[in-house]
Amino acid sequence: MDTASSAPTTQPIRPRTATITAVVVDDRPLVRAGLATILEHGNDISVVAANPLVDLVASVRAIQPSVVVVGIPTDDVDPFRPIAAANAISDQLYVLALTDRADGIDLREAVIAGVDSFLLTSSSATELRDAAIATSRGERIVSPEIAMELAGSWRTDPRRGRQPALTPRESEVLELIAEGMTNQQVGTALGLSARTIKTHVQNLLTKLNAPDRTGAVAQAFRTGLLR
């Protein structure tokens, strides 16, 4: 990832006039300072805080950002617990995770925790900014290498082809996302909050062993849950 020089900071950064507000979270001071500098290289994103992972929940509660950009060190034994906790307090939290590498298990855990997009740290500055903007709009961005890793984990998963047991509500949510509805639209259709729908979607991803909504729908057709 190409970076611009910047003085390290772990304190809140003064918001600008950008419409997209971002929180950068990484336990490595130089990395989070670099990420903040890259994201603010333009007029689209305003980084309002750059803090360690332990401060993620407090930052989300205080700021309610458009997107959270999280650096995932490969030696972190449980990086996804704070992400799951942050998702529990926000109806519409969008998370972009950056990692050096990740195996299929790590990626599934990340999706369950509420990570929406994945990039490798070898991505360019432009790719990072574009992914942050897209993620803030509810789109899912995944580096090709990570997508290939996920595909490989599906091929070797012995559970593939089995039909998982879904609750009636999960089946309703699955049918609606198969029609292309967003979480907000599904919630409106079922009379539930977006956060509740997000929880149902995360449960579906786990049960269907899928990395995202598209994969869940594809797996549902393969196993006969959708026809």
Q: What is the pLDDT of residue 209?
A: 81
In the chain, what are the domains?
A: 20-154 (3.40.50.2300), 158-223 (1.10.10.10)
Tokens encoding 7: 């003085």
Q: What is the pLDDT of residue 162?
A: 55
What's the predicted TM-score (pTM) here?
0.61
Q: How far apart are CA 216 and CA 70, in angstroms?
A: 24
Residues of the chain with pLDDT under 70: 1-18, 74-78, 102-106, 108, 148-163
Q: How far apart are CA 11 and CA 25, in angstroms?
A: 11
Q: What is the pLDDT of residue 160?
A: 43
Tokens encoding 203: 């449960």
Pairing relationship of beta strands 67-72 and 95-99 according to DSSP bridges = parallel
Q: How far apart are CA 188 and CA 191, in angstroms?
A: 5
